[in-house]
């Protein structure tokens, strides 16, 4: 098949065109002042901390000596060690990787190793003076105590820009550490070559969470270096090029020059020539301050798409920091001409779309991707075309895609709802027939438990671990396929996938009122405790029966039927927020942010509070959302209740603050909850969509009525199309629990 056939409508904006940073006709407010990148750097937040621009391939920041799971992003607020400044990071994930092209400014003799905190003699590491650490969107600064050097960093999408001010009299140097990646990432092959007396280039291949990562680079310096020392397998190697998995290179500069050393490092997923092109295109000059200003402008362009009005400064800071965190990924994974490294391990020439990576879809299909369809619909065609090309290259839509590699991390078919959602929302710029083909083929592959669903109608708990989680996530995806099929007039497919989307009913045990592991012979898993959790080794995934019983966002009516009545359903849902029991010593660390057994720190619970609205008790939704907004999110480093999860945790806060949330996995019904701000202005293609809260007051927590564009509105949700038309949504608030629909 001709790969270009995937493009139904020509996509005009390539990578370079996406770099603009002005909004014509709109006054640009400096909203970066409300972003605090420290939020999420403590606790289990795992957020990236450093310099980047929205959706940039470059995420340039410090990496510490790892101590535990909470160091997977490379940085934790409790630790002031630094082993270098790599150019790629992950943000908010539960697994670590990347940290490619790690550089460290040094002076004097060093040991070429990561080292440990027992002694400087063990490695390159230094303490960072946190009192001098400054981070704002697009800029990072710190001081390395050991080497007496001030470090400043900024970035474009594909180029990291460094400024090192060496304050002592020793000869400065910059070490390229091609060995130490993030967590489990191991170098398989690396090359560094001297291009001229102020330029080096090379590449790093590695294997980690993503099993075949390839990053090419070109580094240019503001002044000539004296020489480059290569260290391979702990031995000095002569010459102008070195190759090896255990490779360091030390770029030495003459002493006596007190001017800062500037360095630009361009990355490419395709070649050293691609890195050179990216450098020439995005950052040909040496104006560090202008690059900082351009990065700030790029952030302000995106942040200004939403204006919130409130007297609660902490909530405003949390909101804009959340919006900032949603803009890290998916990240562009192509050169400025569109060339990219595909899932088929081949280099592909630019094909008319911007290629992306870092698809944490099990997390983000729930809120981050729906939010993107509102705030960034112009990017969705590139996202979908990337996913369709991945399907073409690997035979299925992405599950958890990273650096051109399928990790198959997490359960279900999480790419399916994202593509189906784009079809149902009439996102333009991709071939809907090819998209449906990808949906159907991905949903029929006999792998990862789907073979059992095809044969038995469900996944028996004695056939594989996490059977309930896999099956219930597959059911959600099947519903999304069914809705896309119906829209495209494919009645047979609609009926097939709609029927299969009800497979969750196999697990409902009416005698206990929980989703429970069912064996092939029809018997229930015993012993059974709804509290019990054994991380990645039981019938659930990062959860327990209390949390998974509600994982039916696509068929709330069917779930109510399982309980026998709305009253029984609501009583059980009430109990979720009160239940207290022993989850066991092997419970998942992802089960966090608990209110009873509701776990806001992990994604399967994120829609659950909105179920009250869908069964006629919206005041309970409002009570719980207000509680979560003000207790599970703070403006402190440990201000997240769990992993930030590549924008999902933040997107929940944003949408819920608007006053609505997309419960169904696709289609654009945003269920009403609790408006957190006095007024919100959202920029949409048609103009502005304004949300206002009338009758403000501490006690007025409940929606009494809704007015849309001057007309009384009698639904429990608002449609995506109504948001995107622009207009005005008014929440009439009061202290009486009522049903307005």
**664-706 tens-digit pLDDT:** 999 999 999 999 999 999 999 999 999 999 997 778 999 999 9
Both 492 and 616 in a single domain? yes
Domain membership of residue 294 as a residue range: 37-303
- In which element (H, E) is residue 671 found? strand 669-672
Residue 52 is predicted with a pLDDT of 99
| pLDDT band at residue 26 using 50, 70 and 90 as cut-offs | low
Residue 174 is predicted with a pLDDT of 99
182 pLDDT above the threshold of 90 = no
Contact 139, 61 (CB under 8 A): no
Task: Pull the structure tokens for residue 38.
Answer: 């420290």
- Look up the pTM and report it: 0.95
Contact 415, 397 (CB under 8 A): yes
Q: What is the DSSP letter of 722?
A: H
Where is average pLDDT lowest: 125-134, 313-322, 439-448? 125-134
Q: Does residue 192 fall inside a structural domain?
A: yes
Task: Pull the structure tokens for residue 466.
Answer: 């996490």
Both 689 and 618 in a single domain? yes
Both 291 and 389 in a single domain? no
Give the number of other Cβ atoms within 10 Å of residue 68's Cβ.
Answer: 8
14 pLDDT above the threshold of 60 = no
Both 47 and 144 in a single domain? yes
Residue 20 is predicted with a pLDDT of 38
Q: Does residue 146 fall inside a structural domain?
A: yes
451 pLDDT above the threshold of 80 = yes
CATH code at 616? 3.30.2080.10
Cα–Cα distance, 668 to 645 (Å, whole number): 22
22 pLDDT above the threshold of 70 = no
Total count of domains within the chain:
2
Residue 183 is predicted with a pLDDT of 80
Both 626 and 678 in a single domain? yes
Residue 23 is predicted with a pLDDT of 46
Q: Does residue 1 fall inside a structural domain?
A: no
Q: Write down which residue in 303, 336, 351 finishes a domain.
A: 303
Both 337 and 293 in a single domain? no
CATH code at 125? 2.70.98.10
Both 292 and 371 in a single domain? no
User: 341-369 pLDDT, tens per residue?
Assistant: 999 999 999 989 999 999 999 999 999 99
Residue 160: left if φ>0, alpha if ψ -120 to 50, beta else—which one? Answer: beta
Cα–Cα distance, 173 to 179 (Å, whole number): 18
Both 516 and 528 in a single domain? yes
Q: Write down which residue in 276, 303, 330 finishes a domain.
A: 303
Both 215 and 334 in a single domain? no
| pLDDT band at residue 415 using 50, 70 and 90 as cut-offs | very high
Both 284 and 322 in a single domain? no
Range 214-241 average pLDDT: 97
Q: Does residue 3 fall inside a structural domain?
A: no
User: 490-521 pLDDT, tens per residue?
Assistant: 999 999 999 999 999 999 999 999 999 999 99
Range 23-41 average pLDDT: 86
Contact 58, 157 (CB under 8 A): yes
Q: Does residue 4 fall inside a structural domain?
A: no
- Whole-angstrom CA distances from 690 to 305, 360, 655, 680, 730 are 12, 30, 14, 6, 8
User: 99-131 pLDDT, tens per residue?
Assistant: 999 999 999 999 999 999 999 999 999 999 888
């Amino acid at each position: 098949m001709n790969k270009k056939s995937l493009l139904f409508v020509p996509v005009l904006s390539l990578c370079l065109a996406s770099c603009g940073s002005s909004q014509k006709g709109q006054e640009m407010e400096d909203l970066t002042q409300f972003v605090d990148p420290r939020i999420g750097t403590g606790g289990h937040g795992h957020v990236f901390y450093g310099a980047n621009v929205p959706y940039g391939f470059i995420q340039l920041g410090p990496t510490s000596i790892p101590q535990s799971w909470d160091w997977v992003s490379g940085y934790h607020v409790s630790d002031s060690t630094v082993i270098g400044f790599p150019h790629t990071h992950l943000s908010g994930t539960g697994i670590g990787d990347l940290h490619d092209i790690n550089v460290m400014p040094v002076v004097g003799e060093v040991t070429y190793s990561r080292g440990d905190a027992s002694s400087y003699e063990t490695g390159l590491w230094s303490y960072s003076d946190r009192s001098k650490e400054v981070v704002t969107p697009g800029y990072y600064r710190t001081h390395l105590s050991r080497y007496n050097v001030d470090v400043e960093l900024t970035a474009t999408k594909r180029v990291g820009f460094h400024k090192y001010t060496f304050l002592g009299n020793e000869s400065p140097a910059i070490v390229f550490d091609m060995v130490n990646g993030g967590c489990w990432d191991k170098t398989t092959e690396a090359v560094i070559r001297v291009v001229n007396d102020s330029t080096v280039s090379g590449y790093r291949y590695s294997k980690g969470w993503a099993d075949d990562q390839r990053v090419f680079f070109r580094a240019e310096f503001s002044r000539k270096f004296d020489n480059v020392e290569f260290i391979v397998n702990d031995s000095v190697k002569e010459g102008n090029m070195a190759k090896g998995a255990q490779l360091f290179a030390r770029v030495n500069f003459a002493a006596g020059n007190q001017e800062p050393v500037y360095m630009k490092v361009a990355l490419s997923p395709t070649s050293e020539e691609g890195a050179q092109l990216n450098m020439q295109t995005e950052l040909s000059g040496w104006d560090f301050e202008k690059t900082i200003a351009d990065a700030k402008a790029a952030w302000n362009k995106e942040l200004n798409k939403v204006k919130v009005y409130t007297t609660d400064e902490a909530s405003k800071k949390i909101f804009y920091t959340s919006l900032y965190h949603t803009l890290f990924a998916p990240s562009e994974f192509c050169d400025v001409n569109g060339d990219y490294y595909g899932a088929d391990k081949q280099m592909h020439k630019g094909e008319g779309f911007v290629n992306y990576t870092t698809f944490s879809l099990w997390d983000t299909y729930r809120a981050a991707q729906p939010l993107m369809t509102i705030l960034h619909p112009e990017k969705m065609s590139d996202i979908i075309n990337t996913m369709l090309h991945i399907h073409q290259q690997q035979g299925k839509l992405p599950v958890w895609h990273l650096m051109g590699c399928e990790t198959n991390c997490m359960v279900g078919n999480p790419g399916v709802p994202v593509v189906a959602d784009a079809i149902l929302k009439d996102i333009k710029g991709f071939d809907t027939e090819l998209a449906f083909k990808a949906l159907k083929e991905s949903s029929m592959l006999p792998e990862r438990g789907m073979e059992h669903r095809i044969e038995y109608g469900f996944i028996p708990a004695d056939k594989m671990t996490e059977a309930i989680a896999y099956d219930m996530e597959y059911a959600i995806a099947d519903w999304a396929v069914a809705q896309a099929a119906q829209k495209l007039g494919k009645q047979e497919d609609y009926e097939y996938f709609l029927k299969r989307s009800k497979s969750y009913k196999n697990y409902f045990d009416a005698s206990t009122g929980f989703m429970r592991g069912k064996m092939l012979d029809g018997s229930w898993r015993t012993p059974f405790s709804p509290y019990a959790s054994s991380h990645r080794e039981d019938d659930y995934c990062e959860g327990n029966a209390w949390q998974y019983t509600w994982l039916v966002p696509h068929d709330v009516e069917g779930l109510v039927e399982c309980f026998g009545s709305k009253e029984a359903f609501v009583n059980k849902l009430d109990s979720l927020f009160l239940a207290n029991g022993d989850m066991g010593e092997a419970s998942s660390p992802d089960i966090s942010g608990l209110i009873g057994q509701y776990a806001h720190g992990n994604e399967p619970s994120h829609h659950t509070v909105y179920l009250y609205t869908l069964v006629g008790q919206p005041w309970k939704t409002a009570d719980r959302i207000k509680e979560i907004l003000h207790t599970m999110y703070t403006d402190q480093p440990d201000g997240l209740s769990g992993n930030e999860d590549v924008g999902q945790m933040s997107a929940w806060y944003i949408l819920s603050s608007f006053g609505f949330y997309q419960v169904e996995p696709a289609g654009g019904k945003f269920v009403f909850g609790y408006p957190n701000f006095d007024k919100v202005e959202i920029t949409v293609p048609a103009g502005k969509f304004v949300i206002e809260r009338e009758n403000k007051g501490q006690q007025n927590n409940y929606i009494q009525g809704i007015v849309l564009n001057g007309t009384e509105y009698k639904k429990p949700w608002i449609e995506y199309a109504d948001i995107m038309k622009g207009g005005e949504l008014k929440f009439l608030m009061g202290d009486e629990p009522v049903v307005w629909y």
